[in-house]
Amino acid sequence: MLYLGSHVSLKAPDYFLGSIKEALSYGANACMIYTGPPSNTRRVDISKMKVQEAKSLMEESGMKMENIIVHAPYIINLANSMNPDTAKFGAEFLAQELKRVSYLGASYLVLHPGSHVKAGAEVGLQWIIDGLNEVLDQDDSNVCIALETMAGKGSECGRNFEELAIIKAGVHQSNRIGFCMDTCHIHDAGYDLTNFDSVLDEFDRILGLDSLKVLHINDSKNPIGAHKDRHENLGKGYIGFDILAQIVHHPRLDNITKILETPYIDGKAPYKEEIEQLRAIKP
């Protein structure tokens, strides 16, 4: 079954109900939301989110809760040993986010691992491990944190599968750690998507394919290995539509939720058209 959707908004007055309506308007059977603005701490009380109304609409339309993905805000940086207050704030906010995700009934929270801010990858990875342990050891939900593959921009941690494996190995509740593969990010990190079966084999060997929970489907504005992280619309970038369609329809990824994060075009979301294009491909 192809579970395909996009990032959608969550805003007043309908909040989560509005998110589901937007996803359905794109012909999607999955979607990804933030529980509030991704770059600040402003959050509406979860009781105002119209969760039950959203779930009723999902039941009518056949959309499943396991295909609703939540993305953590970018302000969380557990790796920042250079400013421990920032890392401490990140852990505290992540703990709150897990409670919001659990209330919504979603299963996965996608998280950027963090930036070591020139302290070095080894230090940054250990701080991420410590932060995740601090949060998960006190959290009683079943929400899985899906660490996202990163492009290696600046001092990002998680720029390759090996770094992500180090994080998972250090987390006490490693069963609560999964992964989100972003096609733009791994292309920009240097993985050759023209030989995607080999990339999947490498992922499986290092992280385990059963730990892959979410796919972000994006083209890239930059050539392979650029370490830039600039998303492009499907078929407009260096990865190309055919390769992305092959990934979306790959039989080893059949039941994994796939989310588009491509840029708006002239102020308009391109998701309806891009979802139609991908669904039109016959595997």
The verdict on whether residue 22 carries a ligand-binding annotation is: no
185 is annotated as contributing to ligand binding: yes
Does 182 belong to an annotated binding site?
yes
Cα separation, 129 vs 189, in Å, equals 22
Pairing of β 177-182 and β 257-260: unpaired
Question: Is 71 marked as binding a ligand?
Answer: yes
First-to-last alpha carbon distance for the chain, in angstroms, is 12
227 annotated ligand-binding residue: no
**Alpha carbon distance 122, 113 (integer Å):** 13
The response to whether 266 counts as a known ligand-binding position is: no
Tell me if 7 is assigned to a ligand binding site. no
Three-state secondary structure string covering the chain: CCCEEEECCCCCCCCHHHHHHHHHHCCCCEEEECCCCCCCCCCCCHHHCCHHHHHHHHHHHCCCHHHEEEECCCCCCCCCCCCHHHHHHHHHHHHHHHHHHHHHCCCEEEECCCECCCCCHHHHHHHHHHHHHHHHCCCCCCCEEEEECCCCCCCECCCCHHHHHHHHHHCCCHHHEEEEEEHHHHHHHCCCHHHHHHHHHHHHHHCCHHHEEEEEECEECCCCCCCCCCEECCCCCCCCHHHHHHHHCCHHHCCCEEEECCCCECCECCHHHHHHHHHCCCC
Pick out the residues of the known binding site for Zn(2+).
71, 112, 148, 182, 185, 216, 229, 231, 261
Pick out the residues of the known binding site.
71, 112, 148, 182, 185, 216, 229, 231, 261
